[in-house]
């Protein structure tokens, strides 16, 4: 009897100990720990492997001439791995999980679902390189943000090729000033698909691909006491033989305690319409996208953190689409003006970037008389979205499993 009682007490003690351990572990479920650490209770020792899941999901109510559709949508879903192998070698990989993985016909043999895939090398004395697929070093504050933070891009950015393969050479003038010289492929897909080249049987296209289809970008990033920041760039892109695109972007950010704002200016002058907006208005020219297109974009956003866990914002966009030269019967000048007007509120429940949002996104498109003569009509769209944004850190872990306790 005594043995049985002793056995029962031992079992009860073990159960109590297990319960106490589980309770202790749940109490240690801190906001700054990774999911891997939470599940395994293994702490990170080095910065060699970091795994993230970037998410933006929402319920969208869309309106155009009345209510159009309401649906749940995962606008952003990207897996990302990055780390520092040692004090001079790093790597980064990011891929969209909601985009096709078909790479057939792509100039770099990579699907557009892959944003970034490459390695970084610190050369010393402020110099560094990054080789592989990467984000273009274009200017603009919004362009440099994590895509999950964007409720809707400007037409300028939305219709650009932003991730290409090549080489970036960086130079840190000091801890607050940086220069980048970048050389990338000028496109992802084939030449014909990118520029809408279509010919009848036996006809030769009026344009042909250049022998070096590359884009060259000079970028400057500046930081002035964390109050005023800049991200400026100038780019020249070879579109086709003897045809180039010139792109300029100037991003400016102001930070004043609870108040933050940015103002971006972008201008693109394209020998062959790369965005496709003017081609959609005028139609193709000589068996390819429209010639001599010009685009201007101005984007601003104001944030106000009115409470520690609450942020309110408004955002505005002004964009134009034009022909920079006379094209037959098509006059030189502006054909479309686009407006964007956003407002929303965000709630941050933890000391992470997880936040829930309620936003309104409005867009209006006004066409000039010359565009209306081609059949275009003014229209507006509206969207109300409620959802979440979260960069979930899945792992923050050192190489190998020998460090496991």
Domains of the chain: 50-198+207-397 (2.40.160.10)
Element (DSSP H or E) covering residue 95: strand 89-96
Q: If we measure between CA atoms, which residue out of 113, 240, 117 comes closest to residue 188?
A: 113
pLDDT at 33: 61
Averaged pLDDT for residues 185-198: 91
Looking at every residue in the chain, the average pLDDT score rounds to 89
* Whole-Å CA distances, 15 to 2, 4, 7, 22, 226: 20, 17, 12, 11, 53
DSSP 188: S
Residue 93 has pLDDT above 70, yes or no: yes
Q: If we measure between CA atoms, which residue out of 310, 298, 238, 287 comes closest to residue 264?
A: 298
Residue 15 has pLDDT above 80, yes or no: no
Q: Which of 39-43, 84-88, 136-140, 179-183 has the lowest mean pLDDT?
A: 39-43
Rg of the chain over CA atoms, in angstroms?
26
Q: What distance in Å separates the CA atoms of residue 280 and residue 278, rounded to the nearest whole number?
A: 5
pLDDT at 104: 87
Backbone dihedral angles phi then psi of residue 106, each to the nearest 5 degrees: -75, 140
Which residue in this structure is represented by tokens 């309110």? 312
The pLDDT tens digits for 219-270 are 999 999 999 999 999 999 999 999 999 999 999 999 999 999 999 999 999 9
Residues 293, 146, 113: CA angle, nearest 5 degrees: 70
Residue 214 has pLDDT above 60, yes or no: yes
Residue 326 has pLDDT above 50, yes or no: yes
pLDDT at 2: 42
pTM: 0.86
Q: What distance in Å separates the CA atoms of residue 108 and residue 214, rounded to the nearest whole number?
A: 12
The pLDDT tens digits for 337-389 are 999 999 999 999 999 999 999 999 999 999 999 999 999 999 999 999 999 99
Q: What distance in Å separates the CA atoms of residue 399 and residue 402, rounded to the nearest whole number?
A: 8
The pLDDT tens digits for 144-153 are 999 999 999 9
pLDDT at 248: 98
Q: What distance, in Å, lies between the first and last C-alpha atoms of the chain?
A: 40
pLDDT at 317: 98
For residue 14, name the pLDDT band (cuts at 50, 70, 90): very low
For residue 1, name the pLDDT band (cuts at 50, 70, 90): very low
Q: Which residue has the higher pLDDT, 60 or 28?
A: 60
Q: What distance in Å separates the CA atoms of residue 156 and residue 274, rounded to the nearest whole number?
A: 10
pLDDT at 405: 38
Backbone dihedral angles phi then psi of residue 266, each to the nearest 5 degrees: -140, 140
- Cβ-Cβ contacts under 8 Å for 18 (sequence gap 6 or more): none
Q: Which of 79-93, 213-227, 383-397 has the lowest mean pLDDT?
A: 383-397
């Amino acid at each position: 009897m005594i043995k049985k009682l002793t056995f029962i007490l031992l079992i009860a003690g073990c159960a109590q100990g297990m319960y106490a351990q589980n309770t202790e572990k749940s109490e240690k479920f801190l906001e700054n720990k990774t999911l891997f650490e939470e599940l395994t209770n293994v702490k990170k020792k080095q910065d060699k492997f970091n795994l993230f899941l970037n998410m933006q999901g929402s319920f969208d109510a869309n309106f155009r001439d009345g209510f159009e559709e309401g649906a749940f949508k995962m606008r952003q879903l990207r897996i990302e791995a990055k780390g520092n192998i040692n004090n001079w070698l790093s790597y980064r990989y990011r891929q969209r999980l909601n985009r096709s993985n078909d790479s057939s016909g792509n100039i770099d043999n990579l699907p557009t679902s892959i944003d970034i895939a490459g390695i970084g090398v610190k050369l010393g004395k402020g110099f560094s390189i990054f080789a592989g697929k990467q984000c273009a070093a274009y200017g603009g504050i919004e362009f440099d943000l994590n895509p999950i933070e964007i409720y809707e891009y400007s037409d300028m950015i939305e219709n650009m090729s932003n991730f290409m393969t090549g080489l970036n050479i960086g130079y840190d003038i000091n801890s607050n000033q940086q220069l980048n010289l970048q050389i990338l492929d000028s496109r992802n897909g084939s030449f014909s698909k990118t520029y809408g080249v279509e010919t009848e049987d036996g006809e030769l296209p009026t344009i042909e691909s250049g022998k070096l289809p590359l884009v060259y970008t000079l970028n400057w990033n500046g930081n002035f006491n964390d109050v005023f920041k800049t991200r400026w760039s100038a780019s020249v892109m070879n579109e086709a033989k003897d045809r180039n695109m010139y792109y300029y972007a100037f991003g400016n950010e102001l930070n004043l305690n609870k108040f933050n704002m940015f103002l971006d200016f972008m201008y693109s002058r394209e020998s062959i319409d790369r965005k496709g907006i003017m081609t959609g208005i005028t139609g193709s020219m000589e068996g390819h996208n429209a010639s001599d297109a010009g685009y201007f974009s101005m984007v601003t956003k104001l944030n106000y953190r009115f409470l520690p866990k609450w942020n309110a914002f408004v955002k505005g966009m002004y964009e134009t689409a034009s022909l920079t030269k006379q094209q037959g019967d098509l006059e030189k000048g502006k054909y479309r003006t686009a407006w964007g007007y956003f407002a929303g509120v965000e709630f941050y429940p933890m000391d992470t970037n997880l936040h829930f949002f309620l936003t309104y996104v409005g867009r209006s498109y006004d066409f000039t008389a010359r565009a209306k003569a081609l059949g275009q009509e003014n229209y507006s769209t509206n969207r109300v979205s409620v959802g979440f944004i979260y960069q979930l850190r899945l792992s923050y872990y050192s190489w190998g499993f020998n460090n496991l306790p």
